[in-house]
Amino acid sequence: MKILSLFPAFFSVLSSGSQNLDSIIASKLEDLATIQAQYPTEKVYLTLDKELFSTLDNIWFTAYAFDAQTHQPGVESRVLYVELVDQEGVITERVIKIENGTGHGNLPIPDNLKSGWYRVRAYTNFMRNFPQELFFRKDVQVVNVREENIVAKIQAPYEPEIKLSVEGGQLVQNLVNQVVAVGPSSIKTAKLLENDNDAIYTVHFSHGVGKFPLIPESGKKYTLVVDNEEEVSLPEIKERGTVLTVRQNDQNVFISVQGSSPVSGFLVGHNRGNVFIVSKAKKDEEFIFTTIAKSELSDGLQEFIYFDQDGAIENRRIFFVESDRRHTKLDLSLSKMEYGTRSEADVLLEMKGKKSPAGVFSISVQDMAQPSTTPQNLKNYLLLSSDLNSINDGMLRYYNTNQDNNQVLNNFLISSSLSRMPELSVELEDKGLTFSHELGFSVRGKTTKYYNRKKPVRASLDLTFLENPLFKETVQSNKEGYFEFGPLDIAHELTAVLQASFPASAAARNKINNDRIRIELIERDVPAILPFSKLIEDPSGEEISRFIEKSKIIHKVDSAFDFSNMIMLDPVEIASGPKPFEKPNYRQGQLYFKPDHQVIMDSLPNLNTALSIYDVFRRTPGLQVIGAYPNETVLIRGRNRFNESEEPLVLLDNNIVDFDALLSLAIQDIHHIDLLLGTKAVIYGSRGGNGVIAVHSRRGQGRKDWERVGIVNFIHPGYHENDPFPMPDYRDRSLSFAKPDRRTTLFWNPQVELIKKQETEISFYTSDDKGQFQVKVEGMTSTGDIISKTAYFHVK
């Protein structure tokens, strides 16, 4: 929805008034449209297979990416970072490719991780332009079964401070103000005292939130005393001002602004920046009152802002509204409601509805004894918590249950604020965006003089991948030495070779022919980690104890039946011979022991007159240089080659490089040159079919990792290659039945595509555990309909 397209409708509802106020209203609406146009944002959500983990587990996840304003699936970014972190840094990371708004993978949990609270977070590079509160964050508990007293370690009690907030933001004397108190869930009641005397009101709390009305009087002091005798003073009382109140029933939302004197400003209502109402105060009236049908509102958080006559924000209130307008429904059924142990179970899924598009869903089957740490799901995250600065577990517990509970949720929201909308009263400055949309991977770095890192140089850089010889990309570094390759679509781990050379013109070479190039790769900087402030309620000690005991059993079973470290060896005959390191010119990592020809540089005559590596090759027996500078070609004499125009493979200290990479290598740095022909060259694959020239530097002698001139080899991890979720197939009778099956997650499929009127069947096997199990399906359609469905069955 375009903001600018709504402007004519806005102005049609403005009542008659001063031209100055109308211009201020137009300016604020333009600011809001500018925010939407210049600062688009993205949302990310992860569905996890479960919520409590042991160090034996993987965290399996499905990622969903949305446009933050329209909530339509799909974003411009294609790269998603998923991390398991603690307060000190990143523990495990996965880089996921986003396709059609979804992706999936798994985060392994190290077996030496200490029991405690950890955080799963996910974000795109573009999301880093905005507050980190907008990253997806989910705190999870991990237990290490090798530790003692685990429950005490992971159940760190969190007692938030009591916070008092006034609806609309101001406490105005002689007007009816609605005050909300949010604190620990253990609070049941509190007393409101006037001037430290007897209580004038008893406040009742539910899940840590209580609300009470108050008409403050001038000169009086009001204090809230909770049942633990903690005292909290109310906000400052203003003599004059306005009070903003929002209420709802089944069909409508009612908004009122009442002032201690006639109001003279205007009210703006928007949903994720999409303005749906502008109402201007009428002359000499002390209130603004308006009604909006819920059917006209988008689901989610609505923000109402009252501006005074000068355009300054005086009140603001966020309010949650949701209507059941989904056109898509999901039928979820099981073939039976009861199964035996190690039995095959079938789940049937079908999309229904008049406008049912295709959808992508995650499906998990869990033991109901598995503790749940939070009621968060895809729907309440997208519509509620993803837009807030902070979230309280009580908000999610009251989400979308009934009208009364929605009112409790909106009481919570009085103390909350939006994190995605900047202050409209502040003049916008287009400072630009630091982080771009990543359409693929980038390789960034800087080129400097070899002996002076502070001196940048311009250079030409070639990037190749050994596993893909057809790929080659060239870029130029700028005058500051910075360069960037990308976007690169790297599907899996590849070995990269990055080579730098000076500009090709003779004048440029003569000017800097004694300089060398150093390549410094710039690693991706990881965003700082926000302090952990666990706002969710811990599972009970009993629930965690059951999970720990089961995890210990699984650990014992896996240890007893783990044959992965046992290797059966065939008989071998060991022959004595010279050790590789006994050969005088053997280097660490060298794939061959004896070359066909070897030239020691110190044995060549008149070496000090050599101007380039090609002059050395001309004096090397077995090599032939054809052509003149700058079009020289090197061939190995007498070899059988696939193609007369192809040069041999070149190695520099056992790393594959191009001939151009040798141009920046000082002649005096070369120790010896090896030539490989025929079968000895085949060890390097088809690229060695034309022979191999292996150049070994003096710097490489006896050193494993010296900084090479003008070349960098590195492993690029690419996108995470998803591991298969392990599931037994008890139809295979060769499968050992001796090993106990105590899985906590029976089935996980991160991406199941469902199509209208097409039934999809999912099959899995139960474990040896008995009790109640839950099938949970969660996902979204291509049009943005969010669907969450659960079903239950028993194992006897």
Q: What is the DSSP string of 209-256?
A: EEEEEE---TT--EEEEETT--EEEPPPEESS-EEEEEEE-SSEEEEE
Q: Which two tokens stand for residue 432?
A: 């630009």
Query: Helix, strand or coil for residue 404?
Result: helix
Which residue is listed with tokens 């103000």? 177
Measured CA distances, 52 to 59, 112, 502, 546 (Å): 9, 17, 55, 12
Residue 297 neighbours by CB under 8 Å, 6+ apart: 253, 271, 276, 321, 323
Closest CA relative to residue 141, chosen from 440, 490, 541: 541
Say what the pLDDT of residue 159 is: 55
Other C-beta atoms lying within 10 Å of the C-beta of residue 189: 12
Closest CA relative to residue 750, chosen from 54, 96, 90, 141: 96
Residue 416 neighbours by CB under 8 Å, 6+ apart: 318, 388, 389, 390, 395
Q: Which two tokens stand for residue 438?
A: 């990543």
Burial 682-717 (b: 16+ CB within 10 A, else e): eebeeebbbbbbbbbbebbeeeeeeebbbbbbeeee
CA dihedral sign of residues 681, 686, 692, 694: negative
Say what the pLDDT of residue 644 is: 46
Say what the pLDDT of residue 324 is: 65
Say what the pLDDT of residue 339 is: 94
Say what the pLDDT of residue 423 is: 47
Q: Cis link prior to 571 (omega < 30° from 0)?
A: no
Q: What is the DSSP string of 456-506?
A: E---EEEEEETTEEEEEEEEE--TT-EEEEEEE---S-EEEEEEEE--SSH
Outline where 7-116 has alpha helix (H). 7-13, 19-38
10-residue stretch averages of pLDDT, the chain, 796 residues long = 32 46 85 72 91 87 91 91 92 93 92 88 92 87 80 55 88 94 84 85 86 90 82 88 92 92 91 89 87 90 91 91 74 91 91 76 85 75 84 67 68 80 45 81 91 87 84 92 93 87 58 67 88 56 75 76 52 50 65 81 67 76 75 70 64 80 74 83 77 82 52 87 85 67 90 85 92 91 84 93
Instruction: Report d(CA 261, CA 90) in Å as an integer.
Output: 55
Instruction: Report d(CA 209, CA 178) in Å as an integer.
Output: 13
Kind plus residue range of the DSSP H or E element containing 653: none
Closest CA relative to residue 66, chosen from 280, 351, 323, 272: 272
Is the Cβ–Cβ distance between 437 and 76 less than 8 Å? yes
State the pTM of this model.
0.76
Would you mind telling me the total number of residues written for the chain in this entry? 796
Is the Cβ–Cβ distance between 46 and 63 less than 8 Å? yes
The torsion of the CA quartet 68, 71, 77, 79, rounded to 10 degrees, works out to 100
Q: What is the DSSP string of 138-156?
A: EEEEEE-TTSSSHHHHH--
